[in-house]
Chains A and B, each alone.
Chain A
C-alpha cells in the first residue's frame, strides 16, 4: 500500500516551527545557570533575571519604552480614529485619495522615515528630543489605526444611527450611545496594535533617540552587537511574555487574521 505523505501539512508544520523557533530557544536559555550561551542549557537558575535589575540601562529603557508606547498608542488612536470617521462617515470628496495619503507612511521604508525625521528635526531644533521621537512613532502608528477603524466601519450599519436619531437622540447621544460602543473593538485593537508597533520599533527610534535615553529594543540591539550572553535571553523573555499578553488580548477583541492587510511596514 502506498503511503501518502500530507506534504502541505508537513511544510506548514515546519514553517510554523520556524517562525516560533526563536522564542522556543530564548526562554530555556534565559534560565541557564551557565555564564555564557551554551547548548543544551545547563541547570536552572534565575541569575540572568536578577542581573537585569543590576543593569539600569535596561530597566530604564524598558520603562521609557513603556511610556513612549503608551503615549503613542493613545495619541495615534485618537488621531487615527477621528480621521477614519471623517473618511467613512462624512464621505469626504476624494476619499480614496485621502485614504492613500494617510496610508502613505506605510509604503516608505521606515529606515527612510527615520532618516528624514532625523535630518529635518535636527534642522528645526527637535533633534534628539522626546517630542521628535514621539511624533515619528505616532506617524508610523496612525496608518494602522486608520486601517483598523476603517475595517471596523466597513461593516458598520448606519441605520443604527438613524434608528437612534429618530427615537429622539441628539447627535452627541448618537455618537456616545451608539457609534462609539460599536466601534470599541476597532478602537481597542488600534490602541493595542499601535502600542506594540511603538514598543517593538527599532529602525525609526535608531535615528531619533537621545544619547541618554534609549528604547528597550534599541538597547538590546546595541548590546547584541557587542556581547552575546544569556542576559539578552532573560530580557527578551520578559518582553515576549508582555507581548504575548497583548497578542492574546488583540486576538480576543479583534482577531489577528483581520488585523493584517497585505501592506505593512518593514523593520
Chain B
C-alpha cells in the first residue's frame, strides 16, 4: 500500500449554526489526483480551504504526511495552491512570481534561477519570464500560477476551480496540460470543481459532495456507472427519470409499476425496498435504443412511445420520445440509420435492464 499523503478524519465546519461540512472522511494516497465535485454551496471549497489552512475545522483531524495539521498556519504546511483567479502578484514579473516561494525559503540565488527556468520549461512558457502578469493571456497566467505552485516541490498541490475562468477551448487545452503535468510530476493533487467532465477526465478518484456531506467517493468509472445515490446519478451526466411504485422483488430484480401503468424491471444492487414504496428509475439517454414500430409487449425493459422532437448535436442525435406520462431522451450516434426518425412516428425504446437504477423517492 502506498503512503497516505492526506487524511481527513471526521472533519466538520460550521458557519454560525450552519453546518457547511459534516463528517468528512477521506484518505488520499501519495500521487493521487482527487477532485471535490458538487454544486456551489456543497462545501467543496470550504474543505479545500481547511486543507490549505485558511479555515480551521470545528471538529475532526486533518493530517498531511501523517502529521496533524490542525492549527498549523498555512505558511508552515508546505503546500502549493492555484487559485481560481490565478492570483499572480501584479507587481512582480513572471520570474519573480515563481521565485517568491523560493526566496522565502532562502534558497541561493543561482539555484532559484535554475529552478525557475526549469519549472517554466515544464509548463512550456520559458519565454515569458520577464513579463508582467498583465501582459499574459488567461491561459498563460494559469500555467504560471501552476508553475509558481510547483516550484517549491510541495507535498500537496491544491487547485481551486483552476479552469473555470477560461473559455471552453482553452479549458480543454489546459485540462490536457494538467493531466500531462500530473503524470510527469506525480504530485498528490486535490482540486475543486463544479464541472463533472473536468472531474471525470482528470481524477483518479472523485469525491461527490452535496449540502456538506459526502455522497460518494469513487473512481470516475464507479461514479458514473455505479452511482451510490440519486444525487450522484443525477448530478453526473444526463438521465431519464421514470417514477412509480415498487411491485415486488424477484431474485436480484425489482419490479416497478410506472405511473403510466407499464411495469419495468431494474437490478436491486443489494438494496432493499418494501412493496408500494415510491421510487424513481433512471436510465441514461445513451443506454437507450430505438426501434421502429410498437413493441409486441410493453414493460420489462422496453416502452412504446411517439417521437416528438429530434435534435442533431454533431456527434450524436437526441430524440425525445413521449411514452405515456414520461418523456424519455434517447441519444444515438449521429451515424445511426435511425437519425431520420420523423415526429409523430411510433417507436419502441428499449434498454439493457442492467442500466436501470432505482432510488427511493423522497416525499414532497
Contacts and interface: CB of A to CB of B under 8 A. Distances in A.
Interface string A243-264: 0000000000000000000000
A170 B79 CA distance: 14
B53 interface: yes
Contacts of A160: 87, 89-90
A153 to B, nearest CB: 15
Nearest to A161: B87
Contact of A167 (B53, B73, B104): B104
A178 B89 contact: yes
Contacts of B80: 166
A260 B333 CA distance: 62
Nearest to A184: B91
B83 interface: yes
B198 to A, nearest CB: 20
B101 A168 contact: yes
B78 A168 contact: yes
B74 interface: yes
B248 interface: no
Contacts of A169: 75, 100, 104
B210 interface: no
A103 interface: no
Given A159-B85, A166-B52, A166-B53, A181 B91 contact: yes
Which of B87, B101, B105 gathers the greatest number of chain A CB atoms within 10 Å?
B87
A163 interface: yes
A163 B83 contact: yes
A160 B92 CA distance: 12
Contact of B81 (A163, A177, A181): A163
A102 interface: no
B325 to A, nearest CB: 49
Nearest to A178: B89
Contacts of B81: 162-163, 166
Contacts of B85: 157, 159
A152 B111 CA distance: 36
Contact of A162 (B77, B87, B91, B148): B87
Contacts of A166: 52-53, 74-75, 77, 79-81
B201 interface: no
Given A159-B83, A173-B104, A177-B100, A164 B74 contact: no
Contact of B74 (A157, A165, A177, A181): A165
B350 interface: no
A170 B73 CA distance: 10
Nearest to B79: A166
Which of A157, A166, A169 gathers the greatest number of chain B CB atoms within 10 Å?
A166
Contacts of B100: 164, 167, 169, 177
Interface in B39-81: 52-54, 73-81
A182 interface: yes
Nearest to B84: A159
Contacts of A178: 89
Contacts of A167: 75, 100-101, 104, 148, 152
Nearest to A177: B100
Contacts of A181: 91
Which of B77, B80, B104 gathers the greatest number of chain A CB atoms within 10 Å?
B104
B189 to A, nearest CB: 15
A181 B54 CA distance: 23
Interface in A84-115: none
A168 B89 contact: no
A14 B80 CA distance: 59
A163 B74 contact: no
A165 B49 CA distance: 13
Contacts of B53: 166
Nearest to A163: B87
Contact of A168 (B54, B75, B83): B75
Contacts of A177: 89, 100
A170 B105 CA distance: 11
Given A159-B83, A162-B54, A163-B81, A170 B75 contact: yes
A180 to B, nearest CB: 10
A173 B83 CA distance: 20
B274 to A, nearest CB: 51
Contacts of B105: 168
Interface in A147-201: 157, 159-160, 162-170, 173, 177-178, 181-182
Contacts of A162: 52, 54, 74, 81, 83, 87
Contacts of B79: 166
B280 to A, nearest CB: 41
A177 B85 CA distance: 19
Nearest to A174: B75
B78 A163 contact: no
Nearest to B83: A159
**3 closest Cβ pairs, A-B complex:** A167-B101, A163-B87, A168-B104
21 contacts: A159-B84, A159-B85, A159-B87, A160-B89, A162-B54, A162-B83, A163-B81, A163-B89, A166-B74, A167-B75, A167-B104, A167-B148, A168-B75, A168-B101, A168-B105, A168-B152, A169-B104, A177-B89, A181-B91, A182-B90, A182-B91
Interface of B: 52-54, 73-81, 83-85, 87, 89-91, 100-101, 104-105, 148, 152
Given A162-B87, A166-B81, 8 more contacts: A157-B85, A159-B84, A163-B89, A166-B77, A168-B78, A168-B104, A173-B104, A177-B100
